[in-house]
Amino acid sequence: MKKMILLWMIITVGCSCSRKNFETTDLSSQETNGVIYVNDSRKEIADIADSDIQKIAKASVALIDKENIQEDGNSVSLHAQNLRQEFNLCSNQRYAEQQSIANCSGILISPRHVLTAGHCIDEATCGQYKMVFDFRHDTRFYSPESETYHMPRSHVYSCKKITARVTDVGWTAQDYSIVELDRPVTDRAPATLSTRSLKSQESVFTLGYPLGIALKYAHGKVRRDLNANTYLMAIDTFAGNSGSPIFDESGKTLIGLLSGGESDFTYDPQYSCNMIKICPSEQCLGERVFKTSTIASILKKLN
């Protein structure tokens, strides 16, 4: 599964930001998405005081390979290698001990539909991934004793079919999939779509699963409006954030999906491990964000 995603990354001009299988020790040259812009803004959702963001976070979806989900009656458990093991991440890096479980991120856009990046899922992989709500690193869902995440089985949904999908090659192309779920979601509200255009330096935030770990909040800014399909942004995202919803900070409405960007890591030869890449202001290319306003007419028909 990860090999297919890696192939998609190789043939594009930019890079994908979905998880994949890293087979080298030095990952600094790998074309993934992810970087810290000046300071690491990632936070656990439980640490966000804004009630509106907490509500939106309930609509966030982790795309998880069904092989990483164990069912036990009315509950499920999630367990995988941590970031130090999976990516040879240096032990002094943030979240090094959290487990890399999710492959991509997404957002609920109607009671029956999830929106994610086009390179994350297609008809061939529809049956492979589960859509999981509330994959969070807090005491409600995580047991430090067993190092396992637990949640009700009702929080896990299957892909019934792909309603629409486009994944074009290039940094200014469309990249989205609309996933129809196997049943309606009744215990949380879909995200609200915005059709307005953002200007340079406007503040934004995202909710997603960086490097496959539990849900994180991160904020950033618009660098520039590239074309009708794409924003260029400085926002702290990584592999696993593909399909992460981007919201304007003022209105807290959905304005885009993360598609690709900078590489994740720099290599530390002294300790033979990978460090999270940090970009001083304006010194890195930025993150590619697909404008959801370009498919507003499609999304509105789903409600």
> Among 6-15, 28-37, 121-130, 204-213, where is mean pLDDT lowest?
6-15
pLDDT at 11 over 70: no
pLDDT digits (tens, 9 = 90+) for 185-200: 999 999 999 999 999 9
- The predicted structure's pLDDT at residue 279: 85
Residue 18 lies in a domain: no
What is the model's pLDDT at position 10?
Answer: 29
Q: What is the mean pLDDT of residues 238-253?
A: 94
- pLDDT on residue 47: 96
* Residue 14 located in a structural domain: no
pLDDT score recorded for residue 197: 94
- pLDDT-wise least confident of 17-21, 126-130, 159-163: 17-21
Output the CA–CA distances (angstroms, integers) from residue 205 to 68, 249, 276, in the order listed.
Answer: 28, 6, 20
Summarised one tens digit per residue, pLDDT across range 107-154 is: 999 999 999 999 999 999 999 999 999 999 998 899 988 889 999 999
Q: Which two tokens stand for residue 192?
A: 């609200």
Statement: residue 20 has pLDDT above 90: no
Q: What is the pLDDT of residue 135?
A: 97
Here the tokens at position 190 are 């879909």
Residue 71 pLDDT > 80: yes
With tokens 């699963």, the residue in question is 209
Q: Is the pLDDT of residue 242 over 90?
A: yes
Q: How far apart are CA 188 and CA 92, in angstroms?
A: 36
Q: Give the chain's domain count.
A: 1
1, pLDDT greater than 50:
no
Mean pLDDT within 211-219: 96
**Does 17 map to a domain?**
no
> What is the arithmetic mean of pLDDT over 28-37?
55
HEC states along 1-12? CHHHHHHHHHHC
Q: Tell me the mean pLDDT in the region 263-282.
A: 87
Band (pLDDT 50/70/90 cuts) for residue 7 is very low
Question: If you average pLDDT over every residue of the chain, what do you get?
Answer: 88
Domain enclosing residue 50, as ranges:
2-9+26-300
Q: What is the pLDDT of residue 170?
A: 77
pLDDT above 90: residue 5? no
Radius of gyration of the CA atoms of the chain, in A: 17
Q: What 3 state SS string does the chain have?
A: CHHHHHHHHHHCCCCCCCCCCCCCCCCCCCCCCEEEECCCCCEEHHHCCCHHHHHHHCCEEEEEEHHHEEEECCEEEECCCEHHHHHCECCCCCCCCCECCCCEEEEEEECCEEEECCCCCCCCCCCCEEEEECCCCCCCCEECCCCEEEEEHHHEEEEEEEEEEEECCCCCCCEEEEEEECCCCCCCCCCCECCCCCCCCCEEEEEECHHHCCCEEEEEEEEEECCCCEEEEEECEECCCCCCEEEECCCCCEEEEEEECCCCEEEECCCCEEEECEECCCCCCCEEEEEHHHHHHHHHCCC
Position 179 confidence tier, pLDDT thresholds 50, 70, 90: very high
pLDDT at 232 exceeding the cut of 80: yes
Q: Is residue 194 part of a domain?
A: yes
In a domain, 76, yes or no: yes
pLDDT of residue 9: 36
CATH number of the structural domain spanning residue 270: 2.40.10.120
pLDDT at 18: 55
Q: Which residue has the higher pLDDT, 134 or 286?
A: 134
Residue 277 counted as domain residue: yes
